[in-house]
């Protein structure tokens, strides 16, 4: 029996870790990227699922129910084992129906993932854990039957008879009491995470004020030319004048993760160059980020070679390490494994790359761009990095406007 106990304990522990990560990520998006990968930095289905309305039941994240389930298994098996194996059959009687119920819930959740078109690898991992737990419990139950033990019905009647004794009632009372406190503790932990997350969020009235202020300005009359540096394939374009070594632009990269997760397949981000480096940009008074001209050339080269997304992620994935000493050699190293080094170098230094950078700089001059990032949505601009919630409000309004315009046209 020890092998079954150990196997199920290890599986429940793994499930508890996965559920804990998913619960924490529900309130603090991005945590799971530092613990267990789920998609790449800009295409994170676990984050997209967490931002959807299907991540909660009665206001409680589904991941917290999973965490309670796994901790309940751990507690039940440890208690049965501590009693010298006397209650192993009773533990299986309690846990096997619960495991089957968990599998039924997983079928529903998996159907929702298919409907949403998401592949949350962490969620699927919990489904696999649940299948293995149920299989181990079933095999354990069969082993108990083969050795002359009770079946589920017999174990149930044994538990009923046990509850009729004084000692049995005490055991049941303690077991139910601990189960209650375990559930309360899990919910309380979720409440603490929610409180911590709420403290960093902007009040709704303040978000509405920023959105209204954004729309109080008239949209610009200049139509931006198409950019070769784009991410996403949605119908709504967010244009960004950026410096790829700018600290604020790196912060915007973090915000983009939430945007792509929330508006999966509905937005695209188009990048335009405005390096704060006098080596190529005469419109700035001083070089605030030396090397950013080389960073722009590297991004253009990556785009021309068809590896922009991959290079973009590699660049920002190592941003903290490369930001202070960026050079063409650093760019070539970042492109290692993505492109031939010699071809990448030639493309970076080509006349076409210089002309592409010069066109963006001239466009920025005509538009009066002075800061990075400068974000343009529907012809209106924002300077700096607004919190994701404000961009959510603006983008939602853009989509409502598009629907309203479509309805009028019809």
Q: Which has more confidence, 85 or 92?
A: 92
In the chain, which segments carry CATH 3.40.30.10? 224-409
Give the per-residue pLDDT at 403.
58
Unique residue bearing structure tokens 């012809």 = 379
Q: Is 407 a residue whose pLDDT tops 50? A: no
- How does residue 143 score in pLDDT terms, banded at 50, 70 and 90? confident
Identify the band that residue 1 occupies on the pLDDT scale cut at 50, 70 and 90: low
Check pLDDT > 50 for residue 306.
yes
Top pLDDT among 179 and 202 is at 179
DSSP letter at 37 equals: -
C-alpha separations of 171 from 151, 308, 315 in Å: 21, 63, 59
Lowest mean pLDDT among 20-24, 160-164, 231-235, 268-272: 160-164
Q: Closest Cα to residue 37, out of 49, 47, 50, 28?
A: 47
Contact 391, 399 (CB under 8 A): no
Mean pLDDT value across residues 125-147: 88
- Per the listing, tokens 């920023």 go with 210
**Run of H or E residues at 256:** helix 247-262
What is the distance between the alpha carbons of residues 176 and 157, in angstroms, rounded to a whole number? 18
392 compared with 57, residue with greater pLDDT: 392
Statement: the pTM of the whole predicted model exceeds 0.95: no
R_g (Cα) of the chain, nearest Å: 28
Residue 374: per-residue pLDDT = 95
pLDDT of residue 27: 72
In this prediction, residue 86 has a pLDDT band, given cuts at 50, 70 and 90, of low
Predicted confidence (pLDDT) at residue 155 exceeds the cutoff of 60: no
The pLDDT value recorded for residue 166 is 59
Buried b (16+ CB within 10 A) or exposed e, 348-375: beeeebeebbeebbebbeebebeebbbb
165 pLDDT band, cuts 50/70/90, is: low
pLDDT at res. 408: 37
Measure CA of the first residue to CA of the last residue in the chain; give whole Å: 69
Cβ pair 360, 271 in contact under 8 A:
no
Please say whether the beta carbons of 236 and 267 come within 8 A.
Answer: yes
Q: How confident is the model at residue 156 (pLDDT cuts 50, 70, 90)?
A: low
SS3 content of the chain, % helix, strand, coil (to 5): 65, 5, 30
Residues of each domain in the chain carrying CATH 1.20.1440.130: 2-198
Averaged confidence pLDDT in the chain: 85
Percentage of the residues of the chain whose pLDDT score is greater than 70 = 84
Q: What is the DSSP string of 73-89?
A: HHHHHHHHHHTTTTTHH
Grade residue 381 by pLDDT with cuts at 50, 70 and 90.
Answer: very high
Exposure on the CB side of residue 153, measured as CA atoms within 13 A:
0
Please report the pLDDT score of residue 92 as a whole number.
83
* Helical packing angle, 88-116 and 152-163, nearest 10°: 120
- Report the distance separating Cα 399 and Cα 394, nearest Å: 9
How does residue 168 score in pLDDT terms, banded at 50, 70 and 90? low
pLDDT of residue 123 exceeding 70, the answer is yes
Q: Is the pLDDT of residue 131 over 80?
A: yes
For domain 2-198, give its CATH number from 3.40.630.180, 3.20.10.10, 1.20.1440.130, 3.40.1050.10.
1.20.1440.130
For residue 188, is pLDDT > 60? yes
**Mean pLDDT of all residues in 241-263:** 91
Distance (Å, whole) CA 77 – CA 75: 6
pLDDT digits (tens, 9 = 90+) for 9-55: 999 999 999 998 888 877 776 655 555 556 566 777 777 777 677 77
Least confident of 102-116, 187-201, 297-311: 187-201
Long-range pairs of 383-389 with CB within 8 A, sequence gap ≥ 24: 384/248, 385/248, 385/249, 385/251, 385/252, 385/255, 386/210, 386/255, 387/202, 387/255, 388/255, 388/258, 388/259, 389/201, 389/202, 389/207
Give CA–CA dist 368/271, Å, rounded.
Answer: 16
User: Looking at the predicted structure, is the pLDDT value of residue 391 above 90?
Assistant: yes
E-only strand ranges, 139-203: none
Collapsing DSSP to helix, strand or coil, 123 comes out as helix
Domain 224-409 - what CATH class?
alpha beta
Is pLDDT of 314 > 50? yes
Q: What is the mean pLDDT of the segment spanning 72-92? A: 80
């Amino acid at each position: 029996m020890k092998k079954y106990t150990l196997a199920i304990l290890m599986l429940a522990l793994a499930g508890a870790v996965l559920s804990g990560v998913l619960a924490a990520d529900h309130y603090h998006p991005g945590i799971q990227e530092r613990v267990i990968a789920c998609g790449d930095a800009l295409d994170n289905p676990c984050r997209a699922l967490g931002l959807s309305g299907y991540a909660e039941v009665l206001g409680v994240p589904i991941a917290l129910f999973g965490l309670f389930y796994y901790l309940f298994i751990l507690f039940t098996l440890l208690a049965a084992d501590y009693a010298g194996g006397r209650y192993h059959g009773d533990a299986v009687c309690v846990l096997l129906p619960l495991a089957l119920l968990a599998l039924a819930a997983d079928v529903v959740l998996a159907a929702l993932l298919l409907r949403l078109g998401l592949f949350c690898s962490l969620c699927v991992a919990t489904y696999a854990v649940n299948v293995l737990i149920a299989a181990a419990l079933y095999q354990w139950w069969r082993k108990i039957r083969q050795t002359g033990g009770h079946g589920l019905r017999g174990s149930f009647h044994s538990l009923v008879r046990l509850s009729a004794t004084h000692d049995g009632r005490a055991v049941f009372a303690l077991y139910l009491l601990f189960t209650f406190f375990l559930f309360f503790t899990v919910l309380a932990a979720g409440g603490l995470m929610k409180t911590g997350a709420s403290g960093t969020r902007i009040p709704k009235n303040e978000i509405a004020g920023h959105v209204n202020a954004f729309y109080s300005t008239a949209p610009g009359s200049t139509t931006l030319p198409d950019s070769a540096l784009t991410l996403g394939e949605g119908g709504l374009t967010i244009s960004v004048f950026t410096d790829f070594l700018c600290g604020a632009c790196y912060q915007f990269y973090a915000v983009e993760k939430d945007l792509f997760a929330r508006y999966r397949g509905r937005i695209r981000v188009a990048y335009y160059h405005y390096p704060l480096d006098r080596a190529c940009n005469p419109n700035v008074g001083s070089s605030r980020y030396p090397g950013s001209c080389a960073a722009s050339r590297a991004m253009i080269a990556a785009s021309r070679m068809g590896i922009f997304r991959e290079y973009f992620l590699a660049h920002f994935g190592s941003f903290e390490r490369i930001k202070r000493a960026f050079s063409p050699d650093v760019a070539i190293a970042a492109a290692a494994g993505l492109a031939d080094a010699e071809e990448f170098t030639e493309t970076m230094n080509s006349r076409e790359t210089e002309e592409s950078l010069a066109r963006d700089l001239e466009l920025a001059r005509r538009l009066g761009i002075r800061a990075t990032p400068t974000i343009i949505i529907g012809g209106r601009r924002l300077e700096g990095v607004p919190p994701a919630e404000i961009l959510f409000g603006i983008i939602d309004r853009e989509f409502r406007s598009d629907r309203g315009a479509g309805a009028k046209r019809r």
